[in-house]
Amino acid sequence: MNTPKIKRRVGKYEVGRTIGEGTFAKVKFARNSEIGEPVALKILDKDKVLKHKMAEQIKREVATMKLIKHPNVVRLYEVMGSKTKIYIVLEFVTGGELFDKIVNHGRMQEDEARKYFQQLINAVDYCHSRGVYHRDLKPENLLLDASGNLKVSDFGLSALSQQVQADGLLHTACGTPNYVAPEVLQDHGYDGATADLWSCGVILFVLLAVWHVQISCADYTCPPWLSFSVRKLITRILDPNPMTRITISEILEDEWFKKNYRPPVFNEKEDTNLDDVEAVFKDSEEHHVTEKTEEQPVAMNAFELISMSKGLNLGNLFDEEFKRETRFTSKCPANEIISKIEQAAKPLGFDVRKKNYKMRLENVKAGRKGNLNVATEVFQVAPSLHMVEVRKAKGDTLEFHKFYKNLSTSLEDVVWKTEDDMQAK
């Protein structure tokens, strides 16, 4: 594990581990070296952006997102460009996904669900007032900060929306089937605002009723434990006809919604400079951000380690919480850890690709959302202690959870157990 590793810097940001992947982008943990602040660095391939004729649209949406400084929307700080990449610097939110909270603790009481729904509607209303539509709202895109407040991620960047056409409607069918409005799936165009509202309605139903649900064309049944007032609101939001669906202004006046409502407090008059947005697509050296690589031993610094978990206990056998990424520590040599993971994954039906101390495991059988892909990486925490991160890169989260439980059983002799762990048994 003493083999040197390339450490990347992009401008003033030290770039760390991958924390998310998508079709057009990869998201990495990074740190602002000037002020020590953690950020999420979204990296887009410039060639792909230009090939799909998305440059103007990204420029417009990034500029809009820079102007949005709402407490319930993940903040976009700045955008940078190199010869081959576009770097979008975003707020790093530490409290995990709302999805995880639903899975871990089950359905919510109405007061708790109302608080999150109020914050969601506040964010959606604010962004819609500035012509920004999400079009892929779902619990996985709703993050929680350290104080438990909701933060909508990828607002305006998720779908990288096509322009509204001459008929005033959007025409690109996108989003996640369970949460997408019925009119989006019909090829007649749709209004971004009413389509987002449908998704908000499904999210509210999921918070209150059951975390795994399929709602299409309002074919659902409200469980008996819901109050009459929230059932009435859900029915008005999940109206299959977008012309008669409830509007945000009507939601704000709804009796169930208004209970204990607190309007967001924030300063939107803060000056914003949009020069960086223009500079990103100017193909001249003077506008390119400096990219540096420096060799150093594979090691995770304390800052990265602390940011990965609030009060991370390195002695834990495995994180008990249901997440899309989880990690464990081991006193075994790195090569042995890699070998053990490979031995455990192959009988479970996974192809294994290795590169240094990273592995990509791909299930040969397709699941509910295609083939499950799992990424693993070994970090050095101390000379004789390694941390192993196991992360879902693609596929269904429940399938990842099942795989991880099977993997953990096979790796019990690899995981470091403290004296407290041994006594707990």
Residue 42 annotated as part of some ligand binding site: yes
DSSP secondary structure letter of residue 97? B
Query: What percent of the chain is predicted at pLDDT more than 70?
Result: 75
DSSP secondary structure letter of residue 289? P
Sheet of strand 370-382: strand arrangement:
325-330, 385-394, 370-382, 358-367, 350-355
Which of 99-108, 112-121, 275-284 has the highest average model confidence (pLDDT)? 112-121
Question: Which band of pLDDT confidence, cut at 50, 70 and 90, is reported for residue 314?
Answer: very low
**What's the whole-number average pLDDT of the chain?**
78
Domains along the chain with CATH numbers: 4-92 (3.30.200.20), 98-258 (1.10.510.10), 298-424 (3.30.310.80)
d(CA 357, CA 381): 14
Q: Which residue has the higher pLDDT, 274 or 165?
A: 274
Please state, in angstroms and as integers, the Cα–Cα distance from residue 402 to each residue in 56, 147, 161, 285, 396, following that order: 42, 30, 34, 48, 10
Q: What is the pLDDT of residue 112?
A: 95
How many C-beta neighbours within 10 Å does residue 368 have?
Answer: 10
How many C-beta neighbours within 10 Å does residue 97 have?
Answer: 20
Q: What angle do CA 118, 120, 126 make, to 5 degrees?
A: 100
d(CA 201, CA 101): 18
Q: What angle do CA 363, 366, 367 make, to 5 degrees?
A: 100
Average pLDDT over residues 7-17: 87
Q: What is the pLDDT of residue 219?
A: 58
Which of 125-129, 184-188, 298-302, 305-309 has the highest average model confidence (pLDDT)? 125-129
Which residues touch 195 (CB under 8 Å, ≥6 apart)? Answer: 133, 135, 170, 175, 180, 181, 183, 184, 242
The dihedrals phi and psi of 376, each to the nearest 5 degrees, come to -130, 150
Is the predicted pLDDT of residue 142 greater than 50, yes or no? yes
Question: Which band of pLDDT confidence, cut at 50, 70 and 90, is reported for residue 316?
Answer: very low
- Give the amino acid at 140: E
d(CA 205, CA 396): 21
pTM above threshold 0.75: no
d(CA 21, CA 163): 25
Each residue of 42-83: pLDDT tens digit? 998 888 877 777 777 778 778 888 888 899 999 999 998 888
Average pLDDT over residues 353-372: 83
The DSSP line for 104-115 is HH-SPPHHHHHH
Is the predicted pLDDT of residue 320 greater than 70, yes or no? no
Q: What is the pLDDT of residue 305?
A: 55
Each residue of 288-306: pLDDT tens digit? 777 776 544 345 555 555 4
Q: What is the pLDDT of residue 34?
A: 86
Is the predicted pLDDT of residue 3 greater than 70, yes or no? no
User: Could you give the residue numbers annotated as active site?
Assistant: 136
Each residue of 409-421: pLDDT tens digit? 888 888 876 444 4
